[in-house]
C-alpha cells in the first residue's frame, strides 16, 4: 500500500518503509504515570511510512490521510499549528538531532487505518513509526527503550501532551498473539500469551475525546497531590504504585474524598493488573473478564473518566452471548471500549453491540475484531 502511494506522490518507490500499529490497553488504566503496571497489546491497525533521502537539508512530509504536505528545514524544527499532524514527525526528528544523531533531508509519506482521536494511540503510532523510519533511513542505532522514550518525549515536550509511556511502549514492542505486561517504574516487561479461545473486540463510541486533555492533566495532578498528602502521614512514598489498599486505608484521613477516590482507583487497578497477568498465564479467562469489569467500575466511579456512551457500550456488551469482560480503554471521556469475547461469538457480538448502541444512543459505533500484532520495533 505505502509503496504505491509513495510512488504516486514522489514518482519513485521509497528507499525504506516502516510500519507502526495502534494499541489497545487490556487492563491497567491511568496507572502508567503513577509508576504502575499496564497490560496493552498492539493491534492490527497500522500507520505505514515510506521515505527516501534528498540531497538537501529539508524534510518534505506528506500525510496520505489528510492529503496535506509540509516542508521544513532540519536546521530549525519548530512546531506547526496549521499542520498539526506533522508535529509528531517534527518532534521526533528534533529530539533525534538533539541526541547527537545525524539526519539528512528526506521525502516522507505516511498514512494508515488507526482511527484518530479514538483512544487507540494513533499519535503514538506516528511517533514510534517516525523513530523506526529514521533509524532505517539514517542508519541510527537506538535500543528499543531509548527509541520509546524519544517517541514519548516528542509527545510530552514538542506536541505538549502529558502522556505516560504505555502507548509508545505498546506501539513499539507489542507482539503477535501476546499482551505486553509492563512495569512503568523500571520499564521491565514480559509477554503474556493471549488464548486463541478469545478475541479482543474494540468498540469505538464515536465520541471524540474532547475533555481528555484537560481532565487527564487534572487526574495526573490529583495523583501527585495524593502522594504528597500520604507523605504527611509518615508513609514515605514516591508514587501510588508503592502502596496497597491497606496502606491507603491507614492514610485515608490525610486525603480529601476526591483524592481518596483517585488514589483508590490507581492502587486497586495495579492489583487488578497483577492478578490479570496470572489469570491469563493460567488460562482463567473468566476471572480475567471479571477484572475488566471491575476496572471499568473503578474508572467510572472512582477515577471518573468514563462518559455515558462508554458506560452504555459496556452495559450492552455485558448482555451479549460469549462476552467475558468489557471496559473503557485509554484515557477516557470518549474513545473506545475493549471487550474479551469467546472467538466463535465475536462476529455476532460485534453486530449486536453496534445495533443496540445505535438504538440506545443514535450513534454509530465502529467495531473492530482485533488481532494482537507486532510493534514497530519487532521484526516480523
Ligand atoms: C492515554 C495516555 C497513556 C495512559 C492512558 C491511560 O492513552 O497516553 O499514557 O496514561 O491514557 O491509561
Cβ distance 202 to 370 under 8 Å?
Answer: yes
- Give the residue ranges of DSSP H helices in 154-253: 166-173, 212-231, 245-251
Q: Which residues contact 168 (CB under 8 A, 6 or more apart)?
A: 124, 127, 128, 148, 149, 151, 152, 155
Closest atom of ligand 1 relative to the 121 alpha carbon: 7
Whether 376 is covered by a domain: the verdict is no
- State whether 117 and 241 are in the same domain: no
- State whether 145 and 67 are in the same domain: yes
Task: Establish whether residue 127 lines the binding site of ligand 1, counting it when its CB lies within 6 angstroms of any ligand atom.
Answer: no
The alpha carbon of 325 and the centre of ligand 1 are apart by a number of angstroms equal to 20
Q: Give the pLDDT of residue 148.
A: 98
Total count of residues recorded for the chain: 380
- State whether 204 and 124 are in the same domain: no
The alpha carbon of 32 and the centre of ligand 1 are apart by a number of angstroms equal to 7
Whether 375 is covered by a domain: the verdict is no
- State whether 240 and 128 are in the same domain: no
Task: Establish whether residue 330 lines the binding site of ligand 1, counting it when its CB lies within 6 angstroms of any ligand atom.
Answer: yes
Tell me the three cell numbers of residue 19. 510500519
- State whether 147 and 227 are in the same domain: no
Q: Give the pLDDT of residue 213.
A: 78
Distance CA 154, CA 161 (A): 9
Mean pLDDT by 10 residues, the chain (380 residues): 97 98 98 98 98 98 98 97 97 98 98 94 97 98 98 97 96 98 98 97 90 87 98 94 97 97 98 98 98 99 98 98 98 97 98 98 97 95
Return phi, psi of residue 84, to 5°. -65, -25
Look at residues 172, 193, 214 and tell me which one is the last residue of a structural domain: 193
The alpha carbon of 164 and the centre of ligand 1 are apart by a number of angstroms equal to 6
Whether 379 is covered by a domain: the verdict is no
Query: What DSSP element (H or E) covers 129?
Result: helix 122-137
- State whether 138 and 246 are in the same domain: no
Q: Which residues contact 301 (CB under 8 A, 6 or more apart)?
A: 261
Task: Establish whether residue 167 lines the binding site of ligand 1, counting it when its CB lies within 6 angstroms of any ligand atom.
Answer: yes
Look at residues 162, 193, 224 and tell me which one is the last residue of a structural domain: 193
Task: Establish whether residue 30 lines the binding site of ligand 1, counting it when its CB lies within 6 angstroms of any ligand atom.
Answer: yes
Tell me the three cell numbers of residue 336. 473506545
Q: What amino acid positions are annotated as catalytic residues?
A: 167
- State whether 210 and 168 are in the same domain: no
- State whether 354 and 263 are in the same domain: yes
Q: Which range of residues forms the domain containing residue 261?
A: 198-370
Whether 132 is covered by a domain: the verdict is yes
Whether 27 is covered by a domain: the verdict is yes
**Total-model pTM:** 0.97
Residue with cell 468514563: 306
Q: Which residues contact 278 (CB under 8 A, 6 or more apart)?
A: none
| Structural domain total, the chain | 2
- State whether 173 and 274 are in the same domain: no
* Nearest residue (CA) to ligand 1, atom 2: 163
- State whether 184 and 226 are in the same domain: no
| Per-residue DSSP letter, 1 | -
Closest atom of ligand 1 relative to the 30 alpha carbon: 12
Closest atom of ligand 1 relative to the 166 alpha carbon: 9
Here the CATH number for the domain that contains residue 243 is: 3.30.70.890
- Give the residue ranges of DSSP H helices in 232-363: 245-251, 257-281, 285-301, 308-318, 346-361
Tell me the three cell numbers of residue 177. 498473539
Whether 42 is covered by a domain: the verdict is yes
Query: What DSSP element (H or E) covers 93?
Result: helix 87-98
Whether 291 is covered by a domain: the verdict is yes
Whether 361 is covered by a domain: the verdict is yes
SS (H, E, C) 297-320: HHHHHCCCCCCHHHHHHHHHHHCC
- State whether 219 and 356 are in the same domain: yes
- Cα–Cα distances (Å) from 174 to 288, 371, 380, in that order, read 20, 11, 12
The alpha carbon of 228 and the centre of ligand 1 are apart by a number of angstroms equal to 22
Task: Establish whether residue 32 lines the binding site of ligand 1, counting it when its CB lies within 6 angstroms of any ligand atom.
Answer: yes
| Per-residue DSSP letter, 114 | P
- Relative to beta strand 58-63, strand 106-112 is parallel
The alpha carbon of 330 and the centre of ligand 1 are apart by a number of angstroms equal to 5
Look at residues 142, 169, 193 and tell me which one is the last residue of a structural domain: 193
- State whether 188 and 206 are in the same domain: no
Here the CATH number for the domain that contains residue 106 is: 3.30.230.10
Residue with cell 511502549: 169
Amino acid at each position: 500500500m505505502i509503496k504505491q502511494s509513495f510512488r504516486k506522490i514522489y514518482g519513485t518507490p521509497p528507499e525504506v518503509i516502516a510500519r507502526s500499529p495502534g494499541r489497545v490497553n487490556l487492563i491497567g488504566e491511568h496507572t502508567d504515570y503513577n509508576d504502575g503496571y499496564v497490560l496493552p497489546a498492539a493491534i492490527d491497525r497500522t500507520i505505514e511510512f515510506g521515505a527516501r533521502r534528498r540531497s538537501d537539508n529539508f524534510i518534505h512530509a506528506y500525510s496520505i490521510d489528510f492529503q496535506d504536505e509540509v516542508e521544513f528545514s532540519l536546521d530549525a524544527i519548530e512546531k506547526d499549528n496549521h499542520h498539526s499532524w506533522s508535529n509528531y514527525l517534527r518532534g521526533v526528528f528534533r529530539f533525534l538531532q538533539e541526541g547527537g544523531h545525524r539526519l539528512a533531508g528526506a521525502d516522507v509519506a505516511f498514512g494508515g487505518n488507526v482511527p484518530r482521536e479514538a483512544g487507540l494511540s494513533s499519535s503514538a503510532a506516528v511517533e514510534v513509526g517516525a523513530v523506526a523510519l529514521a533509524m532505517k533511513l539514517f542508519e541510527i542505532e537506538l535500543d528499543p527503550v531509548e527509541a520509546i522514550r524519544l517517541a514519548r518525549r516528542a509527545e510530552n515536550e514538542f506536541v505538549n501532551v502529558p502522556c505516560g509511556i504505555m502507548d509508545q511502549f505498546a506501539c513499539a514492542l507489542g507482539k503477535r498473539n501476546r499482551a505486553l505486561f509492563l512495569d512503568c517504574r523500571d520499564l521491565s516487561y514480559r509477554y503474556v500469551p493471549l488464548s486463541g479461545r478469545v478475541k479482543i473486540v474494540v468498540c469505538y463510541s464515536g465520541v471524540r475525546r474532547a475533555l481528555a486533555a484537560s481532565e487527564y492533566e487534572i487526574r495526573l495532578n490529583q495523583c501527585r497531590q495524593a502522594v504528597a498528602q500520604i507523605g504527611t502521614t509518615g508513609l514515605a512514598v514516591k508514587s501510588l504504585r508503592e502502596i496497597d489498599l491497606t496502606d491507603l486505608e491507614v492514610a485515608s484521613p490525610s486525603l480529601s474524598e476526591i483524592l481518596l477516590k483517585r488514589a483508590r482507583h490507581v492502587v486497586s487497578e495495579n492489583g487488578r493488573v497483577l492478578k490479570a497477568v496470572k489469570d491469563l498465564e493460567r488460562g482463567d479467562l473468566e476471572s480475567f473478564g471479571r477484572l475488566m469489569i471491575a476496572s471499568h467500575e473503578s474508572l467510572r466511579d472512582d477515577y471518573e473518566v468514563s462518559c455515558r456512551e462508554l458506560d452504555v457500550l459496556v452495559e450492552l456488551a455485558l448482555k451479549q452471548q460469549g462476552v467475558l469482560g468489557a471496559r473503557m480503554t485509554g484515557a477516557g471521556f470518549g474513545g473506545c471500549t475493549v471487550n474479551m469475547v469467546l472467538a466463535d461469538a465475536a462476529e455476532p457480538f460485534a453486530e449486536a453491540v453496534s445495533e443496540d448502541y445505535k438504538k440506545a444512543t443514535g450513534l454509530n459505533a465502529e467495531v473492530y475484531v482485533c488481532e494482537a500484532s507486532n510493534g514497530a520495533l519487532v521484526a516480523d
